[in-house]
Structure 1
Amino acid sequence: MTDLTTIPTIGPATAKALIAAGVPDAETLRAMGAHQAYRALLVAGGKPHFIWYYVLEMALQGRPWNDCRGEEKAMLRRRFDALVAETRGAPSGIEAALRDIGLLPPQRN
């Protein structure tokens, strides 16, 4: 088991949050991938932060955190927004649009 902080851009605070979310080491993080690991962070009660999401993605690709730009960043933003909506129980995509215009009943929490 390799310490999470051996992955560039993952510091002690991020490692602590990942461990608390059930991601104990670098091998587990790499096997899960950034998206699933971030899902675990959200399910564990972490607050959503888009920068943290794409920094994790860049870290697992071995790229600098600020290398994420343009269409790649826009695609990651869409994935992040969908993940946040999914983990927060909010409707997304077509379901949200249909609720907004009254074609589906309001969602009950």
Structure 2
Amino acid sequence: MSAPVSSIRNLGPAFEAQCARAGIHSAEELRALGPDEAYGRMLAAGVRPHFIGYYVLVMALQGRPWNDCKGDEKKALRARFDALKASRHDKGRARLDAALAEIGVIERRR
């Protein structure tokens, strides 16, 4: 029998629902995927990116309190999060920004 995602310390029902949206239905599956692949799948499934959610996942899979991440470790996780977000969530964003700038909805980036 599989354990629910919410059986992992610090991951509650809302996170479990986001995992389900990404096709991740058990704690065992989440652990096997690891934080980067699992979070990437969540982003690809349309879950809104949020750095705190990402590092809570990393800490949870390490069995650590969610707020244990500090200093250089947190900076390194931020870089990993930004890379995941760029590869799985922000695809096409530059084209959209260019189109919005063209019609005057947002300022052009320089």
TM-score range, shorter chain: 0.7 to 0.9
Cα gap change, 1:60 to 1:31, in 2 (>3 Å): same
C-alpha distance in structure 2 between counterparts of 1:81 and 1:32, whole Å:
19
Query: How many pairs were matched up?
Result: 91
- SS of the residue 2:46 aligns to: coil
For the residue of structure 1 that corresponds to 2:28, the secondary structure is helix
User: 1:20 Cα deviation (Å)?
Assistant: 1.3
Q: CA deviation at 1:90?
A: 6.0
- In 2: Cα distance, 1:3 partner to 1:26 partner: 5
Please give the per-residue CA displacement for 1:12-34, whole angstroms capped at 9, x wherever unaligned.
Answer: 11101101111110000000001
Share of identical aligned residues, percent? Answer: 52
Q: Displacement, 1:42?
A: 0.3
Aligned residue type for 1:68: C
After superposition, the C-alpha distances for 1:8-59 in whole angstroms (9 at most, x for unaligned) are 0110111011011111100000000011110011000011100000000000
Q: Unaligned 5+ residue runs, structure 2? A: 94-110
Partner residue of 1:67?
68
Query: Which runs of at least 4 in structure 1 moved beyond 3 Å after TM superposition?
Result: none
Corresponding position of 1:53 = 54
> 2:29 matched to which residue of 1?
28
Match of 1:99 in 2: none
Matched residue, 2:4 = 3
1:66 and 1:2, CA in 2 relative to 1: closer, same or farther beyond 3 A? Answer: same
Q: Tell me the C-alpha RMSD between the 2 structures.
A: 1.3
* TM-score normalized by the length of structure 2: 0.79
